[in-house]
Amino acid sequence: MQVRDTAETFGLPSRLLHWLAALTIALAWTVGTVMGDLPRGPSRAAGTDLHFALGTLVLTLTALRLLWRLTNPLPAPPPGTPAWQDWAARLGHLGLYLLMVAVPLSGVFAAWLGGKSINLFWVTALASPWARDRAWEKAAEEAHEVLANLLLFLVVAHVVAALWHHFVHHDGLLHRMLPRR
């Protein structure tokens, strides 16, 4: 079992963190979208708690991923990749990482500026340090929504690029992120 990333491929921690983050982001996005449409009451409160728990998990997984990423070699692009594609991929990955931090952080601000505590998996909660401020709460909510949509857009482009590599170029790129066979 390979642990560290190398110039050729990603190790197990990178692969696990990539797919756990992808799954958690998809769930946080879905719950976030659904909870806003629920009538105020216990089901909406439960949805919000679940959303906060998933969102803070995304932030934790991303912090671990970035720590790992900064202390490991970066796999090189497949041989023959044009320079512009390499830069587009780097820029896209940078954008993904920035949003994987900015989306949950703006959510934390939206919750706290609304005077809400942040549920951490029903074990404990982070109480808001501020009293509710409706104008700032609204601004943070809007920022959170715009950033979350931007993340969705980048993820779609990312997935199209990954599938393009796999089905059109057959260059084995996807296997650097999948479980080893």
Comparing CB distances to ligand HEM, the nearer of 1 and 172 is 172
Q: Which stretch binds ligand HEM (CB under 6 A): 38-46, 79-87, 91-99, 127-135?
A: 91-99
Q: Which of 4, 36, 88, 156 binds ligand HEM (CB under 6 A)?
A: 36
The C-alpha atoms of residue 178 and residue 9 are separated, in whole angstroms, by 10
Count CB atoms within 10 A of the CB of residue 128. Answer: 16
The C-alpha atoms of residue 110 and residue 103 are separated, in whole angstroms, by 11
The DSSP bridge pattern shows strands 118-120 and 124-126 to be antiparallel
Which helix (H) or strand (E) covers residue 126, if one does? strand 124-126
* Residue 25 is a binding residue for ligand HEM (CB under 6 A): yes
Q: Which residues bind ligand HEM (CB under 6 A)?
A: 18, 21-22, 25-26, 28-29, 32-33, 36, 51-52, 55-56, 58, 69, 75, 89, 93, 96-97, 100, 103-104, 107-108, 110-111, 118, 141, 144-145, 148, 155, 158-159, 162-163, 173-174, 176-177
